[in-house]
């Protein structure tokens, strides 16, 4: 069945047509370098959140989870490649530091 719509979005039989476009893709096409960098950022983000799950205290877990989400959201629109590389390095350093702290805090 073919539905013919007017420019106002109404079918010729009088029904209203809702046009929705839901996409998780970025608005522009990423270069290979940008795509790989994005994958690296997502991997670090997931690893940090997985590591935070190991924090024994619920309040500390919530604080760290919220802080991590806020930092990544705050920088999600960054486009300067050098700044992004620096933030990736900082995130990796935070992850390693958190992992070391958790290893030291575990009972032997």
Whole-number average pLDDT of the chain: 84
Q: Of 36, 53, 11, give the one whose Cα is nearest residue 88.
A: 36
| pLDDT (tens digit per residue) in 28-64 | 788 899 899 999 999 999 999 999 999 999 999 999 9
CA distance 51 to 5: 52
pLDDT at 16: 57
Q: Which of 7-16, 20-29, 39-48, 65-74 has the lowest mean pLDDT?
A: 7-16
The total of other beta-carbon atoms located within 10 Å of residue 44's CB is: 20
What is the C-alpha separation between 90 and 96, in angstroms, rounded?
A: 10
**Confidence label for 5 from pLDDT (cuts 50, 70 and 90):** very low
pLDDT value for 29: 86
Report the C-alpha gap between 10 and 102 in whole angstroms. Answer: 60
On whether the CB atoms of residues 101 and 56 are closer than 8 A, the answer is no
Q: How many CA atoms within 13 Å lie on the side-chain side of 75? A: 19
46 vs 105: which has the higher pLDDT: 46
- Per domain, the residue ranges of the chain are 32-105
């Amino acid at each position: 069945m073919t539905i013919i719509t007017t420019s106002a979005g109404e079918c010729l039989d009088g029904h209203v047509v809702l046009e929705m476009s839901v996409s998780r893709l970025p608005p522009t096409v990423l270069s290979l370098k940008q795509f790989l960098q994005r994958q690296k950022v997502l991997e670090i983000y997931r690893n940090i959140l997985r590591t935070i799950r190991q924090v024994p205290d619920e309040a500390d877990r919530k604080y760290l989870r919220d802080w991590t989400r806020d930092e990544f959201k705050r920088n999600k629109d960054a486009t300067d490649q050098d700044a992004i590389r620096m933030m990736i390095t900082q995130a990796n350093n935070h992850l390693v530091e958190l992992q070391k702290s958790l290893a030291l805090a575990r009972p032997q």
